[in-house]
Structure 1
Amino acid sequence: MSEVLSGKIREKTGKVATKEVRRNGEIPAVLYGLKDNLSFSVCPDNLKDILTAKGQNALIDLNLEGNKKRKVILKEFQSHPLKERWVHVDFLEVDVTKTVKVSVNVHLIGKSAGEKMGGLVNQVLKSIHVECLPVDIPQSVDLDVTAVELGQVLHVSDLSLPDKVKIL
């Protein structure tokens, strides 16, 4: 099930218009993909709620005033270097019948036997690239490391993913 995010279309673009959007407490955003590119703004609290509940790869129903709902995924976001806030967000409109390529975080579950013996876990790969339908995008990939011994190495091939998700 996809989440719903509302946005306001921006007629004015550029530095001055973008600063005004931020001053009003919203995030400037761009939609690109299947149809025309659109500049709009979204409420940061609503976006944060969706990303907290469903993760960064959530399939979102974007409801722009005067337009029909569009299925989108978050493609990129820019954060302020000093303050904890977003500066700009890019959304990609997707066709739910065609596969997309996304990056999915890898989460380690449990404490390995090697760690209990004083070893350290070195997670080299924090995310993996996968290809699947937008409705099949996993929020994250969990890897159980409880049986990992000292000196043992796990590979991407050790990850278990749903059949509809292909590792790139």
Structure 2
Amino acid sequence: MSESVVCAFERTEKGRKARREGFIPGVVYGKGVESVSIKLEQKDFRRVLQGRSMTSMFKLKLGDKVQNCIIKEIQKHPIKGEILHIDLQAIDRDEVIRLKVPVVFEGREKLASNRYLLQEFINEVEIMVKAADMPELISIDVGNRELGEKITISDLSISDDIKVLHDDDEVLAVVSAAKVDIKADSESASEDTAETDSNSGSESDGNEG
């Protein structure tokens, strides 16, 4: 995915005032970079986030300077869900960085067809990688897994350029049996029985005639 550019402005006012004016308050920092309070236009920032992983790199234009950044943290309102504050990390493409990457489990439909479900324990992994080689996500196909089978860190297909900061035997997920809705099955069986009894009664009435 190509890198997008988002414009930022230096911020001197408090975050609340910036939000009232339609901006997202934040801060940008990094190795050898002075920490700067910034504000971003909400529409511009949403355009960059749309369809992107939190770990994807984008270009931040601050004044005359353009630098590569990743999102380190987003603070959101617990009820409204609006963005309250954002932390950005300025990085060099050759810099080795530490970050968390989401794990995407593919093949759930196939598990469901076998009346299995995937019980997740970990949905992101922490890695160290050169910024230029940073993956947006790590995917694994679980469609052919059997009941009770564990998916561990060692099952992930990861480039040798990436260092995973987890033990190989750490469990990401387990294939479990899907719960059967006993109440629904019971009601269905009762309806079938009632329908059978009704048909039997109708046949008996007809024979008496």
TM over 0.5: yes
5+ residue gaps, structure 2, are 166-209
Higher helix proportion: 2
| Correspondence for 2:7 | 6
Q: 1:37 aligns with which of 32, 35, 38?
A: 35
**Higher relative CO (CA 8 A, sep ≥ 6), structure 1 or 2?**
1
| Correspondence for 2:132 | 135
2:85 matches 1:84: no
Please report the RMSD computed on the Cα atoms of aligned residues, expressed in angstroms. Answer: 1.6
| Correspondence for 1:152 | 149
Counterparts in 2 of 1:41-56, with a 5 A limit? 41-56=39-54
Please report how far the alpha carbon of residue 48 of structure 1 lies from its aligned counterpart in structure 2 after TM superposition.
2.1
Please report how far the alpha carbon of residue 112 of structure 1 lies from its aligned counterpart in structure 2 after TM superposition.
6.6
Q: 2:58 aligns with which of 49, 52, 60?
A: 60
Could you list the per-position Cα deviations for residues 63-83 of structure 1 after superposition, in whole angstroms to 9, with x for gaps in the alignment?
Answer: 012x31111111101001111
Measured at CA, do residues 113 and 72 of structure 1 come closer, stay the same or move farther in structure 2, by a change above 3 Å?
closer
Are the counterparts in 1 of residues 101 and 124 from structure 2 also a CA contact under 8 Å? yes
Ranges of 4+ aligned residues in structure 1 off by more than 6 Å:
none
Please report how far the alpha carbon of residue 43 of structure 1 lies from its aligned counterpart in structure 2 after TM superposition.
1.5
Please report how far the alpha carbon of residue 116 of structure 1 lies from its aligned counterpart in structure 2 after TM superposition.
3.0
Paired residues, number: 163
| Correspondence for 2:200 | none
Amino acid at match of 1:31: V
5+ residue gaps, structure 1, are none
Q: 1:70 aligns with which of 63, 67, 70?
A: 67
Give me the TM-score of the superposition, normalised by structure 1. 0.89
Are the counterparts in 2 of residues 112 and 148 from structure 1 also a CA contact under 8 Å? no
| Correspondence for 2:108 | 111
Identical pairs, percent: 26
